[in-house]
Amino acid sequence: MPAGRYYVDTSAYLCLLLGEAGWQRLAGELDGGHLLSSVLLALETERTLVHLSRAGQLTPADLQNAIDRLARDLDHFALRDLALDLGRWRVMPIVSTPRSLDFAHLRTALWFHQRQPLTRFVSLDMPQNQAARELGLPV
């Protein structure tokens, strides 16, 4: 059976990185799969890690370890840059109006999906999952 193709958004990646509830199940599902995302994954993850550190929820050592792991993990992803074609693409969920960065993730996932079907759009954000369903992505 061929490896699955998983579009991983930042919420799902942070769950794995920070060992949040459900990370083991998620890691098991993604293990051996083709991991896809937007360059936003790196940007949003680093911003969240710095925020957690400044809020006292990550020690400086934990912050550095997480940033180092992010750098290593990115080598396992096929990442698509944000490009003008995503902004010009006239695709919108039928009912939902996603936040801007979520919308960039959704259009990127749809771009990957149209080239070769995704096994699943992986997000822990329920409104984003609803918008993904409206776009015909497997959630």
Per-domain residue ranges of the chain: 5-134
Q: Give the gyration radius of the chain's Cα atoms.
A: 15
SS3 34: strand
**Using an 8 Å Cβ cutoff, are 11 and 44 in contact?**
no
Q: Please report, as a single letter, which amino acid is at residue 130.
A: Q
Please tell me the pTM assigned to this model: 0.93
Smallest Cα–Cα separation from 10: which of 109, 137, 102?
Answer: 102
- Could you list the pLDDT tens digit for every one of the 139 residues in the chain? 678 999 999 999 999 999 999 999 999 999 999 999 999 999 999 999 999 999 999 999 999 999 999 999 999 999 999 988 887 878 888 888 888 899 999 999 999 999 999 999 999 999 999 999 999 999 9
Q: What is the DSSP secondary structure assignment for residue 3, as one 8-state letter?
A: P
Contacts of 129 (CB under 8 A, 6+ apart): 121, 123, 139
Q: Does domain 5-134 have CATH number 3.40.50.1010?
A: yes
